[in-house]
Amino acid sequence: MIDVSMPRLSDSMEEGVILSWLVTEGQEVAPGDDLVEIETDKANMTFEADGAGLVHIVAREGDSLPVGAPIAQLLSPGEEPEAEGAPSQSAPEPEAEAEPAPKAEPEPEPERREPEPGRRVKASPLARRLAAANGVDLAALTGSGPGGRIVKADVLAAKAAPAEPAEDKRTPEPGGKGTVTTVEINRLQTTIARRMAESKATIPHFYLSTEIDMGRCAEARARIKETLGADAPSLNDMVVKAAALALRRHPKVNGAYRDGSFELYSRANVGVAVAAEDALVVPVIADADRIGLTEIAATTRRLAAKVRDGSISPPELSGGTFTVSNLGMLGVTEFEAVINPGQAAILAVGAIVERPAVRGGELVPAKLMKATLSCDHRILYGAEGAEFLASVKAMLEEPAALAL
């Protein structure tokens, strides 16, 4: 027998929700077969079987379980499942038999073995997101994917079909606020909210801002674009590279405060904040200090696309040692970001704005960008954060250094 436990699908994951079993009770699986869809603190992910056997399901769809808790067993032919753990979808509830009868005979509770409405539907993570965003009831669809699984095309087809108007669930609220609509949030949003609240409550933030002349970076990018076209690195890719190189020079920034000690990391893995449909997800560019700008650009585009279509994998979200968050494309010129727990700092980048500047005693046009470093004061002090920010500024203003 092989025990299957709730996996740790990201470095910050503490618990997960069983979204959908992709197999049935007693089905035979081989290593690598899709087993279950799990909602984590970062994304919805498919977990594969790491062994072979007949599936005995322990955790029900909709269950929220900590990392390491049993969710299934893989049995050999003729082998009986162990009695420990939660009941399977087809097994009786042992705890119901242990309770004393309140009147005569314990009343069976079959509904406890059934998941919440809609939870039993087999659907891909992307299909679930599209359905939630467009008000499509997955339970009403017939899947065209393998094993009847609902896929993106099924949701899009249902969206295009005429539908009955949804019931207005808004309720009047006294006090001058008008009609109030309550929107339930998913586990990913709940986890992000909790982690950000914990970050601000437990990490003593302080902020350092500087203004960077991006004129030479813009010129360098224009020259690269003549050769590479759409594959040319963006200005944000240059910021990521500059930050990664600066982490080499300032190792405490590439670390974290943990349990009274400093953790210093040997690899510079830069997370890039990407706005997904219903959350903020941070895929990681591993060893960003050791790879070239074109590879950073290609990796960033690939990971951002996977975040948006729901196919991002656990390794691509794990191992970040520093984060860059850029809201410049939305017209934001300056902001302060919240530090991701497990890191010492995060760099917030604003829009590049053309403004007059004094150069050599003359007033000239300049492409200026505000950058703000949020620091954990338990590991970084003002001078250390300022030195890191100065290194980033120097490399972006003389971008030849980014090739090193």
- CA-angle at 268, arms to 378 and 45, nearest 5°: 95
The per-residue DSSP string of 279-300 comes to SEE--EETTTTTS-HHHHHHHH
- What is the distance between the alpha carbons of residues 188 and 16, in angstroms, rounded to a whole number? 10
Burial class (CB in 10 A: 0-12, 13-18, 19+), 209: middle
Number of helices (H) and strands (E), helices first, in the chain?
Answer: 8, 20
Residue owning tokens 């829009």: 351
H or E, element range at 71: strand 70-75
Neighbours of 270 (CB within 10 A): 26
Catalytic residue list contains 205 = no
**Catalytic annotation, pick one of 56, 205, 250, 377:** 377
E strand or H helix that includes residue 227? helix 215-228
Instruction: Count how many Cα atoms sit within 13 Å of the Cα of residue 50 in the half-sphere of its side chain.
Output: 8
Residues forming the active site: 377
